[in-house]
Amino acid sequence: MVAGDKMVVTAIIQARMGSTRLPGKILKEVNGKPLLEYQMERVKASKEIDQIVVATTKNCEDDIIEQFCVKNDIKYHRGPETDVLTRYYETACKFGGATIVRLTSDCPIIDPIVIDETISYYKDNYGFFDYVTNTLVSAYPRGYDVEVFSKDVLEKAYKMAFSKSNREHVTAYIYNNADVFNIGHYGKESFYSNYRLTVDTSEDFQLISTIISKLYHDNPLFNLHDITALFNKHPEIALINSNVKQKKVD
């Protein structure tokens, strides 16, 4: 543990330009601004997060992500592309923080309030839950994904996970081993989970672009209530990516 990081909450955002369905998606622009910048605005609005770090790869195609981080004064680390668990662990060791918040760069309009509520739930149950997430119950749209765990738990997964799938997916070893880790679920089931507010396909990007164009000018930190109100007023917008299926984790 890095000296002085006992109470530090570090958000680590995994980001890379490679994508099987929509290459370069995280830096695609809406109204002259890349999606990753929209996400950074939102994560910076969190009251529970102390520092934000981007964990990208050593691939030359991700040089542009390093340039983005340097330009915007964002901390970053570059590690293996496919062994994302190692990349995360290296990032946590480099920048410290007793509590790690895992976010992904395909969630450009994530709600800082949802981030803070999930972190607070983890803190309120500290010592009981090893890992808290809002992704294992049907509570929020895809794209509002938050996972919280300690650096010690991350280290345990790093040392114990050996399969290719568990190395590619940072927290898979944790949530698939409930006999080893105590898993906490934040949120209650709701119809919101029917929406896709993530970016993985061209249809997803079209939807997010439309939402940002409609809501950002008046309220840059528009929330889920604002989005659902937009959908209720213009139901055709919610249908833009309604046929897209989420890729399964192997």
What tens digit of pLDDT does each residue of 206-245 get? 999 999 999 999 999 999 999 999 999 999 999 999 988 7
pTM for this model (two decimals): 0.94
Query: Distances from the Cα of 26 to the Cαs of 18, 205, 240, in angstroms?
Result: 10, 10, 19
Which residues is 14 bridged to in the sheet?
Answer: 55, 104
More confident residue, 188 or 119: 119
The closest of 119, 123, 118, 129 to 174, measured between CA atoms, is 129
Q: Exposure of 42 by Cβ count < 10 A (0-12 exposed, 13-18 middle, 19+ buried)?
A: buried
Q: Which domains does the chain have, with CATH numbers?
A: 9-190 (3.90.550.10)
What tens digit of pLDDT does each residue of 172-181 get? 999 999 999 9
Position 247 scores a pLDDT of 62
What tens digit of pLDDT does each residue of 12-61 get? 999 999 987 898 999 999 999 999 999 999 999 999 999 999 999 999 99
The closest of 114, 107, 116 to 196, measured between CA atoms, is 107
The closest of 182, 213, 236 to 33, measured between CA atoms, is 213
